[in-house]
Structures are given as C-alpha cells and as structure tokens.
Amino acid sequence: GGILYPRLSKTRDLLSLDGIWRFSLVINGSVDYSGGLSNLPEDKDLHLMPVPSSFNDIPTTTTARDHYGPVYYERIFEIPSSWKGKRIWLRFGSVCYSAQVYLNDEAILSHEIGHLPFQTEVTQYIEDDQENNMRVIVDTTLTNTTIPQGSATVLPGNGRVIQSVPFDFFNYGGIDRPVILYTTPLIYIDDITITTRVKGTTGIVQYTVDLGGTKNKVGTRVTVLDKDKKAIISSDSLNGQIEITDANLWWPFLMHNDTGYLYSLKVELFDGKQLLDTYTQSFGIRELVWNSTSFTINGKPVYFRGFGRHEDSDIRGKGLDLPLILRDHNLIRWIGANSYRTSHYPYAEEIMDLADSLGIMIVDEVPAVALSNFNDGLLGNHLKALTEIYNRDKNRPSVVIWSIANEPSSQEASSKDYFRQVANHMRSLDTTRPLTIAHAQQPDVDHTGEFLDILCFNIYTAWYEYPGEVDAIIPEVQRRAKAWHTKHNKPVMVTEYGADTLAGLHTLPEFVWSEEYQVKFMAQYFDAYDKLRAEGWFIGEMIWNFADFSTPPKYFRVDGNKKGIFTRQRQPKNSAHLLRRRYWYLAYLLDGA
C-alpha cells in the first residue's frame, strides 16, 4: 500500500497520539509487558516520555542515555464515536530503530529501519466504546545486517554489553516522529504517484492514483490546483497525463523570483453525487536532466551550494521539533544555500515539506551510513530502505538526487556486486532522478562509481589528513575531484569538507579548533572549488556541517562534533558569515539572483 501523509479532509479525520506516554527501559527483561506500565516502582526518573522525541537525553542517568536494546512505551486513548463505520489507520512517522506495536494486547504492526514511516489499518482491533491501550517495544540494537550497522562490545569486569557504531553521530532511539490515528472511508485513495516533464513553457504531469478497499465502481475526478488552490484543469481518469500550458515551474531558491512553486493534485471519489473520499497531493513541475558534465533543472545547469546536516538538538535528540526546523530553514535562507543532503538518513516529512515549498534541493539519503561486511541480510534491508524512501518521497520536487549510501567501504571487492544490486533496485523504482554515493574512499580503489550518475566525495584535507596544513587544500581537492571525473566521466560534487571549531575560541595566527582556523580553511576550499568550476563538470559544494551535533564518546570529540557553521543552539560562528558571503555571491554569479 501507499504511505501518503495523513491529512484532514472532508472525508478524513485525524487524531494525534503525540504527547506524554508511559515509558520504561527494559533491562534484562525486567518489565513484564502483560501487566503494562501502571504499576512500576518509583525510579530516579519519571516513567514518562514525550512523543515525538528521542528518549536518550530526557532522563538523568547514563543507564538511560546509553541504553541499547528494548525500551517500552505505552499510552491509552479513546476514539470519537463519529469514527464508527470508517477505516481507522495507525501511522508512525518513524521509530528508531525497530518497533513492535501492540493494540489491546494484539501484535498489530512491526517495523525495522529508523527514519521511515510505517502504518497499518487497525479498525478491527480498536474498541469504539472503551479505552484502547497501545504498547510499543522499541529496540535500538544495530547488528551486522541492520541499516545502518552496529556491533556489541563486552566490557571487562561486570560483562556489561555496549553498542558500538561505525558512524560518529549519537545513536538516538525512540518514537521520534509523530504518531497519528486517522480515518478513511471503506473505499479510499491509497496512493498517488506524480512525475513531471517540461517542454518549453508546458508542464507535462503524469499521474497514477491507486485505490484501496472494495473494488465497486466509483466516480472519479482528478483536478490540478495552482498555488492559490484555484482549479486549472481536471480529468475523470485515475491515471493519465495532463498538460499545463504556461506552467509555473519549480525552481530552486534564488534561481527564479518565485521559487518552490507548488501545484497540487486533488483526487475525489464519488458514489453518484456523494463524495466518498478526497485527498490532495502537492507536487512541483520540474524536469531533471544530467550528463557527463552537468546536472540541469528545467534546462538550466545547477550548482549546489549547501550543507550536510543532522536531525539533532538539545534534549530532544532526533525528535521532530517544529520551532527548530523553522529556525533551521530561516538560517538556510539567510545564508543563501539552495540545497542540503539528508545525511545520514531520511529526514522528517515536515522538514521535507519545507524544502519543497522553499525551493531547497535535497540529496535524499537512506540510512546506509558507513556500511562494510556486505552480506545478504544487509542487502535485503538496504533494498527495503530504498523502497520505503522512494514511496515516501517520490512526489517531492525538492528531492533531486538519491544518495544510496554514505562512506561505504567501497574499496572492498565485495562492494561491487552489492552496490550493483542496490543501484539497479533504485533505478527499477525511479529513473527520473540521478543516483549518488557520498564517498570517503579514493577513486582509484572504489568499486561503485560505475553504478552512479553523479560522483560525490567527502574530503578532509587539513583536518583528518595533514591537520593544520591549509596549504595542502587546493592541490588535494583538485586532485581528488579530477581523479573522480577522469575515471568515470561524470559530474562531481563535494558533499563534505569541514573543520571542528569551538565557538568562541580565537587564535592568531589561526590554529586547529579556533574560529580563525575554520574561516581560513574554508577560504582555501572556496578557491579550490572556483578552480574546479572552471573545468566545467564540478557541480557543487556542501559543507560539513550545518550545526554542531552530538556524538558517541570519543577522545577526539569534546561535547560532540563541532564542524558546524552554527552551534548546536543555531547561533552563527564566524564561518557562517563567510559562508553567507560566498553563497550569495554564487547565487548572484550563477543564478542571476
């Protein structure tokens, strides 16, 4: 089935289950699920947890923060009596890493892989005239076959087992995105797929609507609405092609005076004159074309000026927080960026909605970060992650590149066959967007470049390599980019470069970790990028990272990864002002902004 975002409409009702849930860590099987959480003994911390949020930074103990394995959530709810006779659905925006959901003691739903939505129909399990009890067992354990991977380490002494991860962001867990109950009629709109092309000033909109439920004959109407919700054109067919003359195209931020233009497709099902179901899906009209030297949108070459980011903030961890995501997008506009990569996992749908409507181009990444030990179980989960990110994001104009992995061990011979299958799978779902991997390996030892359309690489000259030696930057960045382009004859972009910087630390002359060093370091990279741009196949730069973020304990990390241009509290370092000058200058130079 489809995974449309739940929306209120004339035919659909919606109830948020966000709020404060009962919560407990499960240590050595200490919680008896059958009895629920109402009788737990008093603890240091409240047996309460906000949803959505990561659980780790809410309590006061290291036991809770560093807990891995199962945790237990529970809440009680009633449904309105007006819901009788309708289908009722339960949808989770994301649970990290896996979830087993029980409704009134029945196991109704399970899902693995974080950062992706999942749902099921619950009509038959819901009590309409008494309280319903929902329990979710969330498990944060990562293994050799999960996406991403993790492993267990046994500590000396008490034999306590800790989770090790091959990536440097904190492995937050919990019900970290909204939980929604919603209704549909018995026959309902299950999925909508929209692709667009551009011919001159005409937008060509290809669409398919899938219905669910009883297959009785229904009347159908599909209408394209403009930004002001004015109907432009309609059809009575559930799949087909609509041409829009003088279309308002979807353009990235600063490439046009009206960027992020969104149309919507309103689908209606009728029984005679009676409206059975309606759902409205937004989309943008744009066409992506790429070749060996460029990536174009509506025929115009694009230069990406962006970020790698994280969903990460104080207290809530990776939990969706509306004030935070609006602040972030205001900062993105302030700095003049036109893009970011959802490093290293799909971001919340509410974030993606902002990108769609603001004209921010997204390199949409699956949670396949730092993969190695390629095996069949891993491949199965990886393909599942790709299918799910595609189903969730296929209609988003902001998504312009699929990133099928970050920094895999692509020097391992076994990565070749593995990524051939991964890339083939993604192409079987979508041929309208190019594929990439953000590479850490050198091009000469990599086995995956041939399966990709755009070559992205992460480079840390004068940080991890030759720390402090900013003179090494220009030659190294040029050498690496040229080596990628020469090997595969494809467009090249830098998806990470950055230096850890402690906000407020000043040294003259510049020294690693100071604000002066970050600024000096960036200026060298900018020169390298300008030289590469002149080659004609270098298509973008994304700095690592938008903001400081939390990491696992490491001797080289003080209070997290500090490569942010903004602090974790979203205030600028000196480097943010420099980057702002660069990005607005590029917009002026290349987009005519």
Q: Which residues bind ligand E9O (CB under 6 A)?
A: 167-168, 344, 407, 440, 458, 460, 464-465, 496, 544, 561, 563
- Asked about 407 being catalytic, the answer comes back as yes
Rounded to a whole number of angstroms, the minimum distance from the CB of residue 178 to ligand E9O is 26
Name which of 577, 553, 581 is nearest 566 in CA terms.
577
Closest-approach residue to ligand E9O (CB): 464
Length of the chain, in residues: 593
Q: What is the DSSP letter of 46?
A: -
- Residue 426 makes CB contacts below 8 A (sequence gap 6+) with 386, 390, 402, 404, 435
Distance (Å, whole) CA 365 – CA 382? 12
Residue nearer to ligand E9O on the CB measure, 236 or 559: 559
User: Given 74, 349, 365, 407, which residue is catalytic?
Assistant: 407
Rounded to a whole number of angstroms, the minimum distance from the CB of residue 355 to ligand E9O is 20
Residue nearer to ligand E9O on the CB measure, 109 or 474: 474
CB distance 49 to 313 below 8 Å = no
Residue nearer to ligand E9O on the CB measure, 121 or 407: 407
Rounded to a whole number of angstroms, the minimum distance from the CB of residue 176 to ligand E9O is 18
Distance (Å, whole) CA 144 – CA 265? 42
Rounded to a whole number of angstroms, the minimum distance from the CB of residue 407 to ligand E9O is 6
Q: How far is CA 273 from CA 219, 221, 233, 270, 577, in A?
A: 9, 12, 20, 6, 59
CB distance 531 to 537 below 8 Å = no
Residue nearer to ligand E9O on the CB measure, 168 or 226: 168
Rounded to a whole number of angstroms, the minimum distance from the CB of residue 319 to ligand E9O is 20
Residue nearer to ligand E9O on the CB measure, 308 or 359: 308
Rounded to a whole number of angstroms, the minimum distance from the CB of residue 498 to ligand E9O is 6
Three-class secondary structure assignment of 66-78: CCCCEEEEEEEEC
Residue nearer to ligand E9O on the CB measure, 28 or 556: 556
Name which of 346, 224, 200, 360 is nearest 287 in CA terms.
200
Residue 340 class from Cβ within 10 Å (0-12 exposed, 13-18 middle, 19+ buried)?
buried
The percent of the chain in helix, strand and coil, each rounded to the nearest 5, is: 20, 35, 45
Distance (Å, whole) CA 487 – CA 449? 9
State the helix-helix crossing angle for 322-335 and 574-586, rounded to 10 degrees: 60
Residue nearer to ligand E9O on the CB measure, 168 or 430: 168
Provide the b/e sequence for 191-224 (b: ≥16 CB within 10 Å).
bbbbbbbbeeeebbbebebebbbeeeebebbbbb
| DSSP-assigned beta bridge partners for residue 134 | 75, 103
Q: How far is CA 373 from CA 368, 415, 554, in A?
A: 13, 9, 23
| Positions of E strands within 490-558 | 492-496, 538-544
CB distance 286 to 198 below 8 Å = yes
Residue nearer to ligand E9O on the CB measure, 69 or 552: 552
Rounded to a whole number of angstroms, the minimum distance from the CB of residue 312 to ligand E9O is 11
Token pair recorded at residue 262: 């969104």
Rounded to a whole number of angstroms, the minimum distance from the CB of residue 524 to ligand E9O is 17
Q: Catalytic residue numbers? A: 407
